[in-house]
Chains A and B, each alone.
Chain A
Amino acid sequence: KAGVTQTPRYLIKTRGQQVTLSCSPISGHRSVSWYQQTPGQGLQFLFEYFSETQRNKGNFPGRFSGRQFSNSRSEMNVSTLELGDSALYLCASSLGDVDRETQYFGPGTRLLVL
């Protein structure tokens, strides 16, 4: 099976702009989670989508939003970008409805905000 894919891999934006990141999960996986990784804060959970509904949410401001499509692909949007949003954004997919399941991560999107 193909792994989790994320596009684009690299992105440069300026403050105030918005950005949309895309994640395609492993075939058959219905849950997609998003994480932000920075040197200072480490890996932090943003939100999780399952069957097109947000099921869990981390402690991030409303500028961070997401959605999931019927084919389980997910997008994450960040509006009004700030310098501190520069990070590696990771998505992870899992089956979503079984116990003790494993999340599989994509390669990430490196976002640089200037």
Chain B
Amino acid sequence: LAKTTQPISMDSYEGQEVNITCSHNNIATNDYITWYQQFPSQGPRFIIQGYKTKVTNEVASLFIPADRKSSTLSLPRVSLSDTAVYYCLVSSRSARQLTFGSGTQLTVLP
């Protein structure tokens, strides 16, 4: 399974756009990238998933460059309720077990 590296923590202010970058230098051809959000004492919540270029849904965008060695989760206009840990995962199509790293603790300040 490809190892991921992401910042341990980030601070932002309400209303700002937040970009969290994840490095995955050893990503394989069959791997795809998934981001989860987790609040304290709750299960991780799926945010977005992508394979290449750009994916956008109602809560976030995921940017993946051509070499796929990194990806960036973009959260538009964050609010206090976006304070959480964000995990970047890389897994193959057939992988059944998810490997979570340490994640990024995002703190949104008023």
Contact = CB atoms under 8 A, between A and B. Distances in A.
Given A45-B97, A100-B49, A102-B49, A107 B42 contact: yes
A42 B96 CA distance: 18
Interface string B46-60: 100101000000000
Given A42-B102, A100-B32, A102-B34, A90 B97 contact: no
A102 B97 contact: no
B interface residue count range (under 10 / 10 to 19 / 20 to 34 / 35 or more): 20 to 34
B97 A48 contact: yes
B41 A110 contact: yes
A114 interface: no
Contacts, number: 54
A88 to B, nearest CB: 6
Judged by DSSP, the binding face of B is: loop
Interface in A71-114: 88, 90, 92, 99-100, 102-108, 110
A90 B43 contact: yes
Interface residues of A, number: 26
A11 interface: no
A99 B93 contact: yes
Contact of B96 (A33, A105, A110): A33
B93 A42 contact: no
Interface of A: 4, 31, 33, 35, 42-45, 48, 50, 55-56, 58, 88, 90, 92, 99-100, 102-108, 110
Interface of B: 32, 34, 36, 41-46, 49, 51, 87, 93-94, 96-103
Given A42-B102, A105-B44, 13 more contacts: A35-B98, A43-B87, A48-B96, A55-B96, A58-B97, A90-B44, A99-B94, A100-B93, A102-B46, A102-B49, A105-B36, A105-B45, A108-B41
